[in-house]
Amino acid sequence: MMSRVYRALEKAEEEKKKAEKERSPLKVCEEKMVHRGIETTPEKKPESVKGLELPQKEETPFELISLNSFATEEFRKLKTQVFHRLPNPPHSILITSAAPGEGKTTVAIHLAMAISLEIHKKAILIDSDLRKPGIYFDGLKNSKGLSDYLSGQVPLSSVLMESGTENLQVILSGPSSSKSTELIGSKRMGELLTSLKGSGDSTYIIIDSSPIISTSEPALLSKLVDGIILVIVADRTPRETVQRAIKSIDSQKILGIVLNQVDLKGSSYYSKYYYKYYKK
C-alpha cells in the first residue's frame, strides 16, 4: 500500500525539479522574513508553531515516507503544532507556495500521510491545481478528477478514491482545464469542501494548490479553507515575493510558513543531533 505514496512522492519530486529548471533562479534575500521552521502570524494565534525543518532536496522519496526517518518526525511535529496545540484545529488546510518548485506538493502529501497514521483520523488529499496536476498515485488514473466534478460532469463518488493507504483518500485534479479559475471559484467548490467536512470531526482535508504569484486560484481557495500553510525555499525566495504572496491570500488564516531545503548541518545543535541520529 505504501508503494502508491512512494510513487506519488517520487512524481512530486520530479515535477519540482522540472519547475526549477524551467524558471530562472530567484535571488537570495538579504534579510530573512521568518526564522527556520514554522511561525504563526502574531494576530489571533495563541502559540507559535516553531521548529519544523524539512530535509535537503537530495533526500529520496523512500526516506521521506519511512516511519522512522528524520523527515517523517518533522511532519509529525507539524501535525502536532497544527492540530493539537490550537484551540480550534482547522479541518481544511490549503498548502501553497509563492512560486513553482518550492515543495508544496511534497508537504501536502506528507501532512496528509501524517494525519492518516493517527488513530481515529482520516485525511482527504485534494489536487486543486487544474492547470498543472502535481499529485499522482500508482494505480489511480487521472482520467476523472476535480475538474470533472466542478464542471458537473460526474458525482463526488466518482472522484473520491482510496489511495491504497489506510485512512487516506485522494481527489486527483482530473484533466487540465483552461477554465481553472472559474471552476475553483465556483459554488460547487465550496459545496465540495462543506460536504467533505460533514464527514465528521475526525476528517481533515489537505488541499494542494497552484502557486500564488502566478495564478489566482489560491486567493479563491483561501476564502474557503480553515487554515493556510505557505511553503517557501530557505535562502532563495525573496522577501518581497513572500510578502506579495501573503497579501494575495486571506492572511488571517495563515497558520505558518514552512521553510524548505534548510541546511540541517548548519543548524542548531539540536537539529544536528537529530539529523545524525536519523541518518544512521
Number of independent structural domains in the chain: 1
Q: How far is residue 252's CA from residue 271's CA, in Å, rounded to a whole number?
A: 30
The torsion region of residue 120 among left (phi > 0), alpha (psi -120 to 50) and beta comes to left
Most confident by average pLDDT, 32-46, 219-233, 252-266: 219-233
Q: Is the Cβ–Cβ distance between 95 and 109 less than 8 Å? A: no
Contacts for 251 with CB less than 8 Å, ≥ 6 apart: 41
CA distances from 46 to 39, 199, 253, 255 (A): 11, 27, 13, 11
- Is this structure's pTM higher than 0.75? no
Q: What is the pLDDT of residues 106-134, one digit of tens each?
A: 899 989 988 998 888 999 999 999 998 88
pLDDT of residue 195: 94
The CATH number for 236's domain is 3.40.50.300
- Name the 3-class secondary structure at 244: helix
Q: How far is residue 123's CA from residue 92's CA, in Å, rounded to a whole number?
A: 10
Higher pLDDT, 205 or 251: 205
Strand order of the β-sheet with 254-260 is 161-162, 168-171, 122-127, 203-208, 92-97, 227-233, 254-260
Q: How far is residue 108's CA from residue 105's CA, in Å, rounded to a whole number?
A: 5
Counting Cα atoms < 13 Å in the Cβ hemisphere of 248 gives 22
Domain that holds residue 33: 2-279
- Name the 3-class secondary structure at 260: strand
Q: What is the pLDDT of residues 138-191, one digit of tens each?
A: 778 888 999 999 999 999 999 999 988 899 999 999 999 899 999 999 999 999
Helix (H) or strand (E) holding 12: helix 2-22
pLDDT of residue 6: 44
**Closest alpha carbon to 54 in 77, 82, 23:** 77
pLDDT at 58 > cutoff 70: no
